[in-house]
């Protein structure tokens, strides 16, 4: 990422970093013991001028009332280190098996309560519309879009969509790994049994369209995806996946992730409906390989329909019982790759430049495309 031939003068470079909200302290920390003098100024300029968004980032919090709000997390610091202006801050309810009626809803409310406390501690707000994203970027203030991965908390009660909306939810992952007690559709890693999108799933999509919540079709099989695209009157997103022709160098990881990848045909369905697809990091061994995975998808559906959706974590993992647990290699956003010298968005922008993308194209991939579908989904006349 060193640009020794740059003719930018030092003052202009420092001003660029100031615009980005990234001073010396951003890079002289325990994760990145390097000087900002080593950062390519083109990268700093693009990061400064982009509303960079990760469309799927897990922020682990306790889901049990007695453990809320959990250990304090440095979400603000990690966001500033990453270079992202915003993240779609998500959590899932079904990592631990759901057994009793009402349990999923309790976990959902506890998770939101924990996030309320953590956001307050970090002086971060939830974006409720595109205006909030723009204002936060102008003020150089990190912001989050509240998401949940899976509609398990609904438990067949459509009125809970509006309750969630009133709590700040603006991005709903319709499905996750396990079926909800009242299923919404077939999950791509499970044997199909619902014929695609269910009647309740259809009602949830329509309610999200009415209220102003972005629909996320990650984890949906082809039948569910196709029906959902026909049902929604607003553009949708598949927040985290990869093209099924890009399997990476790790055979075991490729085997595990293969069912979760999207085909060219499926990708074109999403793009033709005005949607956006997020590319994750799981099958990329370096920032350059990640940029090449983005390039492969852009070549299929166009630069207006691809975004960043890491499926990583900016903050430490949390597990039931309390405490933060060691992460697997690549699980943390700002430490996604072993030789990473700067925060996630900085190294990705650098790799995208090296892959031949223009500044305008990076602005779209880095956040502009997500912002477009987010604005379309959340702009409603009530």
- What is the band of 330 on the pLDDT scale with cuts at 50, 70, 90? confident
- Alpha-carbon distance of 144 to 209, in angstroms, equals 20
Q: What is the pLDDT of residue 14?
A: 33
Q: Is the pLDDT of residue 4 over 50?
A: no
Q: Residue 62 belongs to what domain range? A: 10-378
- What is the band of 323 on the pLDDT scale with cuts at 50, 70, 90? low
- Characterize 290-312 residue by residue with b for buried, 16 or more Cβ atoms within 10 angstroms of its Cβ, and e for exposed: bbbbbbbbbebbebebbbbbbbb
Closest to 168 measured CA to CA, from 132, 139, 137:
132
The answer to the question of residue 278 being in a domain is: yes
The answer to the question of residue 4 being in a domain is: no
Q: What angle do CA 263, 266, 267 make, to 5 degrees?
A: 85
Q: What is the pLDDT of residue 39?
A: 86
Q: Is the pLDDT of residue 136 over 60?
A: yes
Residue % of the chain over a pLDDT of 90: 83
The answer to the question of residue 5 being in a domain is: no
Q: What is the pLDDT of residue 33?
A: 46
- Alpha-carbon distance of 187 to 150, in angstroms, equals 10
**Average pLDDT of the chain?**
90
| C-alpha torsion 211→213→219→222, nearest 10 | 60
Model confidence pLDDT, tens digit, residues 267-293 = 999 999 999 999 999 999 999 999 999
- Alpha-carbon distance of 119 to 306, in angstroms, equals 28
Higher pLDDT, 14 or 101: 101
Phi, psi (rounded to 5 degrees) for 307: -145, 180
Query: Residue 89: enclosing H or E segment and its boundaries?
Result: strand 86-90
Q: What is the pLDDT of residue 38?
A: 78
Half-sphere exposure of 148 (CA within 13 A, CB side): 27
Q: What tokens were used for 253?
A: 């990881």
The answer to the question of residue 181 being in a domain is: yes
Beta bridge mates, 278 = 307
Q: What is the pLDDT of residue 329?
A: 61
Model confidence pLDDT, tens digit, residues 25-65 = 343 344 554 455 678 999 999 999 999 999 999 999 999 99
Going by C-beta distance under 8 Å and a sequence separation of 6 or more, which residues neighbour residue 265? none
- What is the band of 209 on the pLDDT scale with cuts at 50, 70, 90? very high
Q: What is the mean pLDDT of residues 210-216?
A: 98
Our count of domains for the chain comes to 1
Q: What is the pLDDT of residue 26?
A: 40
- Alpha-carbon distance of 59 to 357, in angstroms, equals 30
Q: What is the mean pLDDT of residues 330-346?
A: 91
Q: What is the pLDDT of residue 179?
A: 96
The answer to the question of residue 206 being in a domain is: yes
Residue for token digits 């396990």? 178
DSSP class of residue 58 equals: E
Query: Residue 203: enclosing H or E segment and its boundaries?
Result: helix 199-211
Q: Is the pLDDT of residue 351 over 80?
A: yes
- For residue 97, the tally of other CB atoms under 10 A from its CB is 7
Residue for token digits 């990076």? 362
3-state class (DSSP) for residue 99: coil
Going by C-beta distance under 8 Å and a sequence separation of 6 or more, which residues neighbour residue 94? 104, 150, 152, 176, 177, 178
The answer to the question of residue 372 being in a domain is: yes
Q: What angle do CA 89, 90, 92 make, to 5 degrees?
A: 165
CA 224 to chain centre: 21
Report yes or no: 92 and 107 within 8 Å, Cβ to Cβ.
no
Report yes or no: 291 and 352 within 8 Å, Cβ to Cβ.
yes
Q: What is the pLDDT of residue 349?
A: 98
- Alpha-carbon distance of 57 to 50, in angstroms, equals 18
Beta bridge mates, 169 = 146
Q: Is the pLDDT of residue 322 over 80?
A: no
Model confidence pLDDT, tens digit, residues 241-261 = 999 999 999 999 999 999 999
Q: What is the pLDDT of residue 2?
A: 34
- What is the band of 348 on the pLDDT scale with cuts at 50, 70, 90? very high
The answer to the question of residue 3 being in a domain is: no
Q: Give pTM, 2 decimals.
A: 0.90
CATH number at residue 98: 3.20.20.140
Q: Is the pLDDT of residue 157 over 80?
A: yes
Beta bridge mates, 215 = 172
Q: What is the mean pLDDT of residues 107-115?
A: 98
Q: What is the pLDDT of residue 328?
A: 64
- What is the band of 338 on the pLDDT scale with cuts at 50, 70, 90? confident
- Alpha-carbon distance of 210 to 231, in angstroms, equals 12
Q: Is the peptide bond before 325 cis (omega within 30 degrees of 0)?
A: no
3-state class (DSSP) for residue 237: strand
DSSP character string of 264-293: HHHHHHHHHTT-EEEE-STT-SSHHHHHHH
């Amino acid at each position: 990422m060193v640009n020794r031939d740059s003719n930018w003068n030092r003052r202009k470079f420092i001003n660029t970093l100031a615009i980005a909200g990234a001073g010396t302290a951003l890079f002289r920390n325990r994760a990145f013991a390097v000087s900002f003098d080593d950062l390519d100024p083109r990268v700093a300029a693009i990061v400064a001028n982009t509303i960079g968004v990760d469309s799927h980032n897990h922020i682990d919090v306790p889901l049990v009332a007695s453990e809320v709000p959990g250990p304090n997390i440095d979400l603000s610091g990690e966001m500033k280190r990453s270079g992202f202006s915003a993240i779609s801050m998500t959590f899932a309810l079904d990592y631990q098996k759901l057994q009793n009626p009402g349990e999923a809803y309790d976990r959902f409310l506890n998770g939101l309560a924990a996030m309320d406390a953590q956001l307050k501690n970090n002086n971060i707000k939830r974006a409720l519309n595109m205006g909030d994203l723009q204002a936060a970027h102008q003020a150089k203030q990190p912001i989050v879009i509240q998401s949940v991965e899976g509609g398990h908390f609904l438990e067949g009660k459509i009125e809970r969509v509006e309750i969630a909306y009133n709590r700040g939810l603006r991005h709903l992952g319709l499905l996750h790994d396990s079926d909800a007690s009242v299923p919404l559709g077939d999950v791509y890693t499970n044997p199909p049994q619902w014929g695609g999108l269910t009647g309740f799933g259809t009602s949830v999509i329509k309610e999200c369209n009415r209220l102003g919540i972005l629909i996320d079709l990650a984890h949906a099989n082809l039948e569910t995806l196709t029906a959902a695209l026909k049902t929604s009157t607003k553009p949708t997103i598949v927040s985290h996946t990869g093209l099924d022709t890009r399997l990476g160098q790790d055979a075991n990881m490729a085997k595990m992730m293969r069912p979760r990848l999207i085909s060219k045909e499926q990708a074109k369905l999403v793009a033709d409906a005005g949607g956006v697809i997020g590319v994750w990091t799981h099958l990329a061994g370096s920032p350059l390989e990640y940029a090449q995975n983005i390039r492969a998808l852009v070549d299929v559906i166009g630069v207006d329909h691809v975004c960043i959706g890491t499926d990583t974590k900016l903050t430490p993992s949390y597990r039931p019982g309390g405490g933060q647990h060691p992460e697997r290699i690549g699980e943390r956003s700002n430490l996604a790759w072993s030789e990473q010298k700067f925060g996630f968005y900085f190294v990705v922008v650098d790799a995208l430049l090296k892959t031949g993308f223009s500044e305008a194209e990076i602005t779209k991939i880095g956040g502009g495309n997500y912002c477009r579908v987010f604005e379309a989904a959340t702009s409603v006349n009530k």
